[in-house]
Structure 1
């Protein structure tokens, strides 16, 4: 019991684990933002058009770096990459975080296109140009803390009839 308590003290979640949401002004909450749009725009343009774009959501959490995780159905390997929370100008803005996450999804999609997918999960196949889920179909809704410094995005994918 004491061993478990000690483990939780060292590796437990930050003091707050509320989700960080990504919404454009004028778009209903929870629709998310296109990762393709995020990659195509400057951080300043993103911040100006995003609800809370200039918010520093990680203030007071004591994180210097978060580990961003992508686990996609049907693909064996998860993707975990660091994102600096403390930058030269202070704590990361929400718009910066969105841009970093979109960049990670772009890299993940490029890599995943050439990997084998488990046949039972074929509907989740990632494809840059062919049949399957393309980068442009992905919308970033929020990012949530899984445990410790590990965070994962909540995304939506355009339904097949809209692809």
Structure 2
């Protein structure tokens, strides 16, 4: 397992749409382990393969130590509630920068595990926010794009000044 270099905002790779994973092999498992180590080192609660410059549809979440890491391959949101939640978000690619983002409170999604087995689950509240945030990244939508133009410009200016 290796801690990989994380792309830093505004790297163009953070706007790339990731390709579906087609090989469920040792290479994928090793990539997933590298993602976990890189996320823990950052630190963060979620990271996509795109964050380390590998443009495949894979991400890992670790929402609690007791639950352990959760791996999602080729995830896709099937349904999102009309009810929303506001939550502070940020990115391992933009350490220290956070702002409140509004997203659906509840989602149903499907994905494959590291062996290629299909799963369908529902997530609520913080878990739902994380799922949507990481799937956005796999779709080339960096979390800042969910902010108003004014909020985004202020946050980027402040972050660049502090960096």
Could you say whether these structures have the same fold, taking a TM-score greater than 0.5 normalized by the shorter chain as the test? Answer: no
If the length of structure 1 is used for normalisation, what is the TM-score?
Answer: 0.32
Larger Rg: 1
